[in-house]
Amino acid sequence: MTKLIIFDFDGLIIDTEVPEYQSWREVYEIYGVELPLSTWIPIIGLGSEAFDPYAHLQSLLDFPVNRDEVRNVRAPRHKSLIDTQPVLPGVHDYITDAKSLGMALGVASSSSRKWVVGHLDRLGLAEHFDVIKCKDDVGSAKPDPASYLAVLNDLEISHEDAIALEDSVHGVQAARGAGIFCLAIPNPLTQGSDFSHASLKTESLKALSLRELLAVKESHAV
């Protein structure tokens, strides 16, 4: 019986992935170089240590890059893009339905706790989650399953009684690595990725209700 729904954060609750890429792509364009999507997609869901966009930008130029100058240009643009992002379709419905069914709710993220909790507070969602585990809580980012295992451990719930919701390939790997049934909901940047390792895939949470998802999971368990 499913007792727990675990959400990823970036790209799943709100679309922070497109603003992150767009703000960096615009910075690269200022310097007359490109940041192709093919370079960005492989690092989605891995955490900030996986790719240093400052160092990569520097490698494309023959003059020094001042990180503070880049930061001063990108940071306000990044913030303005994220601040306009709504909670993604179906998220509120999943939270409401999970609560009505007596399920626990968790978050497992490769981002920092300050980032995740700050946005959840801003969106009025933090109070709905029983456990939030981030990269700095567990010491590693996805595809390491540590954040998922920490959520399960804190709530004393078996992996068999949980469902993970993920938008990235590395996130799905982390959830499956923890033995959790995982629904993949690709974001605009990851929709062309291979999600064959996910338990199930849908275009949005709005397209598949929680009750429908539970029915599919039950059929897989038979």
Q: In sequence order, what are the residues at sequence separation of 6 or more whose Cβ sits closer than 8 angstroms to the Cβ of residue 34?
A: 25, 28
Rounded CA gap, 217 and 35, in Å?
Answer: 39
Decide which of 51, 83, 115 is a domain's last residue: 83
Q: Could you tell me if residue 7 is left (phi over 0), alpha (psi between -120 and 50 degrees) or otherwise beta?
A: beta
pLDDT at residue number 192:
85
pLDDT at position 47 is 66
Could you please report the per-residue DSSP string of 154-196? HHT--GGGEEEEESSHHHHHHHHHTT-EEEE---TTTTTS--T
Active site residue 83: no
Q: Digits of tens for pLDDT over the chain (222 positions)? A: 999 999 999 999 999 888 999 999 999 999 999 999 999 988 887 766 778 999 999 999 999 999 999 999 999 999 999 988 999 999 999 999 999 999 999 999 999 999 999 999 999 999 999 999 999 999 999 999 999 999 999 999 999 999 999 999 999 999 999 999 999 999 888 888 899 999 999 999 999 999 999 999 988 764
In terms of Cα–Cα distance, which of 21, 26, 19, 16 is closest to 78? 19
* Same domain, yes or no: 201 and 104: yes
Domain of 199, CATH number, reads 3.40.50.1000
Same domain, 109 and 79: no
Kind and range of the H or E run holding 143: none
The pLDDT value recorded for residue 186 is: 93
Within this chain, do residues 115 and 44 fall inside the same structural domain, yes or no?
Answer: no
pLDDT of residue 188: 86
Q: In this structure, are 75 and 94 located in the same domain? A: no
Quick one: tokens of 199? Answer: 């338990």
pLDDT at 221: 63
Contacts of 220 (CB under 8 A, 6+ apart): 181, 199
Domain extent for 198: 4-15+86-221
Give the per-residue pLDDT at 49.
74
- Best CA proximity match to 193, nearest among 214, 219, 166: 166
Beta bridge partners of 132: 107
Radius of gyration of the chain measured on its C-alpha atoms? 18
Is 10 marked active-site?
A: yes
